[in-house]
Each structure stands twice: as C-alpha cells, then as structure tokens.
Amino acid sequence: MEAVVFFQFLLSGLSAGAIYALIALGFGVVENATGIVNFAQGDFLVLGAFWAYSALASWHLPYPLAFLSAVCFAAMVGLLLDRLVLSRARSREILILVFITVGASIFLRGLIKEIWGKRPISLPPFGGDTPLKLGPLTIMPQTLWILGVTFLAFALLHLFFHRTKWGRAMRAVAVDPEAAALVGIPVPWMVALSFAMAGALGGLAGVLITPVTPLSFESGVMMGLKGFAAAILGGYGHFGGALLGGLLLGVLEGLSAYFVSSAYKNILAFALLVLVLLIRPQGILGFGVKERL
C-alpha cells in the first residue's frame, strides 16, 4: 500500500515536472537567442490558459481548435513583446533588458486581471476524467497527456534545431550573433522567432496544466519561478537540461510532499536547488564557463 502511495506522489511529481520542463524550455530558447531571462514567461502560460478558457466557454470552439488557438495566441504575445518592446530598447545591457520583461510581466498581469478578472479558472481535462487503472495504480488521463505532449514537444524541437535550416540558423545565433549576422542570418528575425516559440511553449504549458491546477491571473509568477529554477537546475540554455531539471524539480517536490509534508515541499525544493548550485555552479548539464586569465 505504502509503495502505491509513493508511486502516486512520484507520478504527480513527474507531471508537474513536465510542465516545469516546458516553461524551462521557453526560458532556454530566449536565453540562447538573446542571453536574457524573460520574466514574462510565466504570464505566457496564464495567457494561454485564459484564452483557451474563453475559446471553450464563450466562443464554443471545439477542443483541439481552442487549445491550438491558445498556443498561437501566446506565441503572438511573445512575438509582440520582442518586436514592440525589447527590440526598441536603447540599451543592450542584459540587466536592463531583463527588467524590461519584469515591467512587461506586471503589465500583462494587469491586463489579464482587467480582461478575465481575479477568479481562478479551470479547464476540462483532454481525455475525460475517468481514471485509468494500472494494477493498484490510478492514473488520470491528463497526466499521460501532459507527459506525452511534453516529450513530443521536446522531440519536435530537437528535430527543428538539428534538421531544419531555420533551427540551425537559430543555433548559430546562440553561438555567436555577430558571426551569424555576417553569414547572412537575419538575427532580429531569429530573436523574434525565439520569443514566439517561448510564447508557444508557455501557452502549451498553460493549457496542459489548467485541468490539473486551476490558474489565476497571478499564478504566472510562481510558475515562472519554478520554470526558471528548473532551467537553472539543468543548466541554463541547455535543452536536455531543461527537461532533466524540470522532471527533477517536479519529482523533488512530489517526494518532499510524500516524505515531509506538502507545506514544506516548496521550501525543500528551493533549498535543494541552492545546494545543487553550490556544488555545480553551472547546473547539472550546463557548460562551465572557462575563466580566461
């Protein structure tokens, strides 16, 4: 019996971790193109979820269309954040750019509150709510959807970055923007594309998690922090690291909820994160920065 409860906690940890991984991936895409932390990443998630909610409840769109349009909408917001705001910044200093996204995050939160109100929303699960029985284990279909879609997203992105011209161009920008510009890659467009992808990943995470955890206009802050923590844990800007960091953070939370208490799960998760950084300052899979002197 104990083992069953343990696996149940592990499973819920894994599904939360998959969401963190998606958010972490959004952070990573932007990091590679620009080197900045996008504090609005969590708000993309909330925007996607609320759009899907309106699409389903008010406009009566069919399921797949509602979710797809939510992902596209979040991608659009990401694109606009880059084109309308960040690309116009007079300073290229990382810290300034990062805090422009902090302003954008406050702006977006205000907007979400204005349009959709303060009440938390929930979405119906994709695969209905009849739990699947797997021996003694009970699995909600949504958990499988979350894990499946997350792995699919990672696989598709991997193919995109390694097999397509655009993906390779984006990787070139990540390595050296100036050299990329010299060989004719339109760097500003690659940056815009990366923000759109970050938005899409956020929106995807939003529609996936809302059936499990209701979201309110300010949920983006905590989700963003968790995603950022996952990205750092795995190695910032490293895609495999994002997946590993996300799942690890989720499992860590699930296990501390099991072994200690759910009240302390966040404390333990963040304390362990700081500890990991002290042992591996560049995250688990991160590339160490060589000191040149």
Partner 1 sequence: MRAFVSFAALVLFIPFLVKNPYYLNVLAFIGLYAMVTVGLSLFIGYAGQISLGHGAFYALGAYISGIISARYGVSPWVTIPLAISLTTLLAWGLGLLILRLRGHYLVMATLGINLVVYLLLVELDGLTGGVSGLPGIPPLCFGDYCLVTDRACYYLIWAVTLAVIFLALRLVATRPGRELKAIRASEAAAKALGLNVTRYKVAIFTLSAALTALAGTLYAHYLTFISPKTFDVFYSIEVVTMVLIGGMGSVWGAVFGAAFLTPLPQILSFFEEYKDIIYGFILMVILVFQPEGLCGIGKKWKFFKRQMSIISF
Contact positions vs partner 1 (CB under 8 A): 31, 37, 85, 88-91, 93-96, 99-100, 102-111, 113-114, 221, 225, 228-229, 232, 236, 263-264, 266-267, 270-271, 273-274, 277-278, 281-283, 289, 292-293
Nearest approach, Cβ of residue 38 and partner 1 (Å): 11
Nearest approach, Cβ of residue 267 and partner 1 (Å): 5
Let me know how long the chain is.
293
Largest CA distance in the chain: 63
Residue closer to partner 1 (CB basis): 85 or 139: 85
Residue closer to partner 1 (CB basis): 183 or 293: 293
CA distances from 122 to 49, 109, 216 (A): 8, 18, 9
Residue closer to partner 1 (CB basis): 6 or 99: 99
With tokens 């983006």, the residue in question is 220
Burial class of 8 by CB neighbour count within 10 A (0 to 12, 13 to 18, 19+): middle
Nearest approach, Cβ of residue 250 and partner 1 (Å): 16
Residue closer to partner 1 (CB basis): 71 or 257: 257
With tokens 């591996």, the residue in question is 280
Nearest approach, Cβ of residue 162 and partner 1 (Å): 25
Exposed e or buried b per residue across 42-54, where buried means at least 16 C-beta atoms within 10 angstroms of its C-beta: bbbbbbbbbbbbb
Nearest approach, Cβ of residue 231 and partner 1 (Å): 8
With tokens 């984006």, the residue in question is 170
Rounded Cα gap, residues 203 and 205, in angstroms = 5
Residue closer to partner 1 (CB basis): 78 or 283: 283
